[in-house]
Amino acid sequence: MAILKATPRNSPVFLFKATEHITSSADPVRLLKFATDTKNFKLGKIIHAHFVVVPNNALDNGSGVVHTNFLINFYAKCGQIQIARQLFDCMRVRNVVSWSALMAGYLHNGRDFEVLGLFKSMFSLDHICRPNEFVMTTVLSSCSNGGKVHEGKQCHGYVLKSGLSFHQHVKNSLVHMYSRLSDMEGAISVFNTVPTNDIFSYNSLLHGLLELGHLKEAIQVLSRMVGECLKWDSATYVTVFGLCSSLGTLRLGLEVHCQMLKADIEHDAFVNCAIMDMYGKCGKLINAVNIFQRLLTRNVVSWTTIMAAYFQNGYFEEALNHFVNMKTKDIAPNEYTFAVLLNSSASLSALRHGALLHACAEKSGFKDHIIVGNALINMYAKSGHIEAANEVFLDMTFRNSVTWNAMISGYSHHGLGKEALNVFRDMMSAGDYPNYVTFVSVLSACAHLGLVQQGFYYLNQLMKQLGIEPGVEHYTCIVGLLSRAGMLDEAENYMRSVSTKWDVVAWRTLLNACYVHRNYGLGKRVAEIVVKMDPDDVGTYLLLSNMYAKASRWDAVVRIRKLMRGRNIKKEPGVSWVEIKNTTHVFVSEDKLHPESRQIYEKVGELLNKIKQLGYVPDVAAVLHDVEDEQKEEYLSYHSEKLAIAYGLMKTPSEAPLRIIKNLRMCDDCHSAVKLISKLTNRIIIVRDANRFHHFQNGCCSCADYW
């Protein structure tokens, strides 16, 4: 054997020496074991031939069952399951090892159905061969892989009757099976009723609880596992770090990491990625980066994990930059890589980067992966290209709830309530059940369209029928719905009558409605509530100041500004930006730092003069300073979005849509001006402000002048 090991396995010399060794060996089974371990198919066939041609055929004599069992195992592990089955069918006498070897072969070759068929045939013979713990472990694993709930429970019944449940391997397989089949009650029952638990049963139970989101129960199991002082393996650490990630508990994650370092567990790729993921989701990006930088070898999983950590902590550009670095290392991305990168592009509203990633995903063959499709819809919707999002949606072969939600939400955020509700109806017709998130977007779409009765139907009847408990997000949408319809008193009464813990978003929704509908009395009361809930929210002070300015209450405006200074609350300067030929151009109000500022100002002046002929009147009430109207008009003329739009019109083709992003709420005057500019230039202008997307076309806006 030592001579054989020193010879290349598939060389003629090796096979000659192997044949010579077989003829001189009293026990060729040892050589067959060697062929099985090394998956040397040619050598195994030689040994098989030897068994057939030797005097008193070795497969027919008294030791034939043993030899055939070894051959079945050999062929199964070499992927030749059909030959293994032929040998099994030709056996005159079989023992439990024969059945076990073939079943294991079917299992390892992904043919779970044949495992169950073979198991059933064990009981259909005249001389029943009783399954042992190894057979049951294989059968239970096939039920896990194949999602066979009914068959799995039947096998559990046999295990209980036969007494095999007390074998540790069988118990582990039962816990694993129920966990994989999402039956955590069954898994916990086996775990608790059968004595003795090892690390494998704990791993299966913890993983199942984590996958199904039963985090409280998972913590209880973890505490019990710690109390039993079992030695953890790498799979345990991966699962526990995943639990820390889901809970967002940094302290527990640090304790587990310290324990792992003391235990000197091998840091394989999965463990390292689990640690990075935990630190990323717990807000400790620097820790995740330190681990990544210390990795000796990096694969696509580790690169994707660190990109996800950057994304989760708001460092979207860094996530995209890591993709460039990964490509220089000749590491190909996978579907999860593209999902992280596309979501990073969505957060930046970086349409060009997203479109390039879309092309890259298509070339790499990941376009049809559902996780990539969902990320593409999200990216295009958040980047202002809802038409492209819909094209991706219609092109997807398979959809899940995330797909439908992304499309409904995208339409809703773009103010296209009718389209959002049409997609929702298609979702119901397709038999895909909506969830909690779906109805947030659906109710938001009803608010955009002013469908009060329909919104209440979805909230009070349809959600109840589907067993979805409404939350504060749904109730906030109803407040927005009533507010949009001008029913401000009803909205206030609704908030005071519904027994839910209202957050600051709901009250701010009502406050914004008071500003739009100019109900300053209610607005003042609501603003006082919002300020108490969030004393540092600059938006509340600005809305209140705006209301007073609209009413020419300049003394109140001064008082609000003085209050802001006293509390050190500063208004964020308005900034707008537009992307032109791979370059992002940023503008602030009355900006003259741009190298083409003179031409931009001339373009703004030209546009304003032309739209005045279409009926544009500067809304001087939008200026929050007590100055002369002429000076107010000067302030309005060069707001950041007007500068960005003027530059975009100068530098883009006349038929191309223009996409602008602004960090604050768009003012009333700019909104009126851009509507007329879209009509004047016959351009589609899309502006994303702090509240929503505005689609300006032919003198109208998708928000119907409510934002």
DSSP 523-558: HHHHHHHHHHH-TT-HHHHHHHHHHHHHTT-HHHHH
**Any idea what the CATH number is for the domain that residue 481 is in?**
1.25.40
Residues 529 and 580 in one domain: no
Beta bridge partners of 658: 685
Binned at pLDDT 50, 70 and 90, residue 13 comes out as very low
Residues of the chain above pLDDT 90, percent: 62
Residues 438 and 580 in one domain: no
- pLDDT exceeds cutoff 80 at 59: no
- The residues, any chain, with a CB within 8 Å of residue 454's CB and separated by 6 or more, are 446
Question: Does the pTM exceed 0.75?
Answer: yes
Assess if residue 9 is contained within a domain: no
- Domain of residue 431: give its range: 382-539
For CA atoms 530, 536, 539, 543, the dihedral sign is: positive
What's the pLDDT score for residue 26? 45
Taking the CA atoms of the chain, what radius of gyration do you get in angstroms? 34
- pLDDT exceeds cutoff 60 at 680: yes
Distance in angstroms (rounded) separating the CA atoms of residues 620 and 668: 10
Residues 524 and 621 in one domain: no
Residues of the chain above pLDDT 70, percent: 93
Q: Point out the least confidently predicted range of 22-26, 100-104, 616-620.
A: 22-26
Q: Which of 519, 539, 559 is the last residue of a domain?
A: 539
- pLDDT exceeds cutoff 60 at 175: yes
Any idea what DSSP says for residue 369? -
- pLDDT exceeds cutoff 80 at 136: yes
Residue pair 351/384 in contact by the 8 Å Cβ criterion:
yes
Interhelix angle 668-681/640-651, rounded to 10 degrees, is 20
Assess if residue 186 is contained within a domain: no
Angle (CA) 12 13 15, round 5°: 65
Assess if residue 471 is contained within a domain: yes
Half-sphere exposure of 607 (CA within 13 A, CB side): 30
Residues 530 and 612 in one domain: no
Distance in angstroms (rounded) separating the CA atoms of residues 453 and 78: 66
Assess if residue 470 is contained within a domain: yes
Residue pair 356/660 in contact by the 8 Å Cβ criterion:
no
Average pLDDT over every residue of 9-38: 62
Assess if residue 42 is contained within a domain: no
Any idea what DSSP says for residue 231? P
Within a 10 A sphere around the Cβ of 8, how many other Cβ atoms? 8
- pLDDT exceeds cutoff 60 at 193: yes
Binned at pLDDT 50, 70 and 90, residue 187 comes out as very high
Average pLDDT over every residue of 274-295: 95
Residues 437 and 488 in one domain: yes
Beta bridge partners of 588: 575
Domains held by the chain: number = 2
Residues 534 and 579 in one domain: no
Assess if residue 288 is contained within a domain: no
- pLDDT exceeds cutoff 60 at 127: no
Residues 613 and 503 in one domain: no
β 658-662/700-701 pair status: unpaired
Residues 533 and 592 in one domain: no
Q: What integer best gives the mean pLDDT of the chain?
A: 88
Average pLDDT over every residue of 397-422: 95
Assess if residue 631 is contained within a domain: yes
- The residues, any chain, with a CB within 8 Å of residue 404's CB and separated by 6 or more, are 423, 424, 427, 432, 434, 438
- pLDDT exceeds cutoff 60 at 56: no
Residues 630 and 686 in one domain: yes
Q: Which of 487, 518, 539 is the last residue of a domain?
A: 539
Residues 434 and 514 in one domain: yes
Residues 392 and 531 in one domain: yes
Binned at pLDDT 50, 70 and 90, residue 65 comes out as confident
- pLDDT exceeds cutoff 50 at 66: yes
Phi, psi values for residue 588, rounded to 5°? -115, 165
Residues 525 and 462 in one domain: yes
Binned at pLDDT 50, 70 and 90, residue 624 comes out as low
Assess if residue 66 is contained within a domain: no
